[in-house]
Amino acid sequence: MLTWIIVSAAIAVLGGGAIGIYRASNATSRRDRQLAAPPKERTIRELLPNDIVTFENKDFLVEGLIIYDEDGHTWKAARMVDEGKERWIMTGMERTPGLTSPVRVLDRDTTLQITGYPPELLEVGGEQYRLATRGNAGVAAQGDVGIPGLGKSLMRIRYWRYTAPGDKMVIVEQWGSDYRAVTGKAVPEHMFTLLQAT
C-alpha cells in the first residue's frame, strides 16, 4: 500500500511537471509565432516615420508626421525627403461625409509672402485660388517635421485652405507669427508604393 502511494505521488509530480513544461513550450511557440508574423500591411494613409514611399520614380524617406486635430476631426501630413527635396503627403483634411478624403502631394511654396490675415483670393503660379475653409487645429509631431519647436506636446495653429480647378490646393498655416504655405493636388493612391519601416 505504501509503495502504491509513493508511486502515485511520483506520477502526479512527474505529470504535473510535464504539463507545466508543455504549457511553457506552447506559450513560447505562440509568442514566437506572433513575433515571426509579418506586420500589418499599411496604406499610404497610415504612414509612419522611416517608411519609404516611391512616387514619380523617386524613393522618399518619411522623416516625420504632423497630426492635426480640429474638435475631434483629425488629419495627417507626412514629411518625406529625397536628396534634400522635401514633399508632403496629406490625408484626411476635408470633411466629406460618406466619401474618402483624397491623398494630396504638397510642396512648400516660398514665393507666397503673407504677413497679415490671408485674403479670400490667392494667386499662386499665375493661377487664382479661392478660400474654401479656415479654422484652428491642435498639432503634434512624430519624428522630424522640419518645424522648430514642434514636438510631441500639443500646439495650436490657424489654417486657411484654398482650392482651384483640377483639384488643386493651397494651404496656409500660421505658426505663431510665421506663415507657412504648401501647394499641390490630389494624387490617386495607386501612384504610390509603400515600403514599411521594420
Q: What is the pLDDT of residue 186?
A: 93
Q: What is the pLDDT of residue 114?
A: 87
**Do 97 and 119 lie in a common domain?**
yes
**Count, residues in the chain:** 198
pLDDT band (50, 70, 90) for residue 148: confident
Q: What is the pLDDT of residue 6?
A: 45
**Do 31 and 53 lie in a common domain?**
no
Q: What is the pLDDT of residue 28?
A: 55
Nearest alpha-carbon partner for 163 in 180, 183, 181 = 183
Please state, in angstroms and rounded to a whole number, the distance separating the CA atoms of residues 153 and 140: 6
**Do 137 and 58 lie in a common domain?**
yes
**Do 29 and 65 lie in a common domain?**
no
* Measured CA angle at 160 (ends 157, 162), to 5 deg: 155
Q: Which amino acid type is present at position 17?
A: G
pLDDT band (50, 70, 90) for residue 76: very high
Averaged pLDDT score across all residues of the chain: 83
- Find cell 503673407 and name the residue: 114
**Do 55 and 101 lie in a common domain?**
yes
Q: Which amino acid type is present at position 96?
A: T
Q: Which domain holds residue 68?
A: 44-195
- Does residue 70 surpass a pLDDT of 90? yes
**Do 167 and 188 lie in a common domain?**
yes
Q: Which of these ranges, 3-12, 80-89, 95-104, has the smallest mean pLDDT?
A: 3-12
Q: What is the pLDDT of residue 9?
A: 45
- Does residue 24 surpass a pLDDT of 70? no
Structural domain count of the chain: 2
- Does residue 60 surpass a pLDDT of 90? yes
**Do 10 and 61 lie in a common domain?**
no
Q: What is the pLDDT of residue 2?
A: 45
Q: What is the pLDDT of residue 13?
A: 44
pLDDT average, residue stretch 22-31 = 54
Q: What is the pLDDT of residue 56?
A: 94
**Do 82 and 155 lie in a common domain?**
yes
- Does residue 89 surpass a pLDDT of 50? yes
List the grid coordinates of 53: 514611399
Q: What is the pLDDT of residue 176?
A: 85
**Do 94 and 140 lie in a common domain?**
yes
Q: What is the pLDDT of residue 99?
A: 72
**Do 77 and 13 lie in a common domain?**
no
**Do 31 and 61 lie in a common domain?**
no
Q: What is the pLDDT of residue 96?
A: 75
Nearest alpha-carbon partner for 62 in 75, 45, 76, 81 = 81
The answer to whether residues 77 and 62 touch, using CB atoms and an 8 Å cutoff, is: no
**Do 120 and 105 lie in a common domain?**
yes
Residues 117-144 have pLDDT tens digits of 899 999 998 899 999 999 999 999 999 9
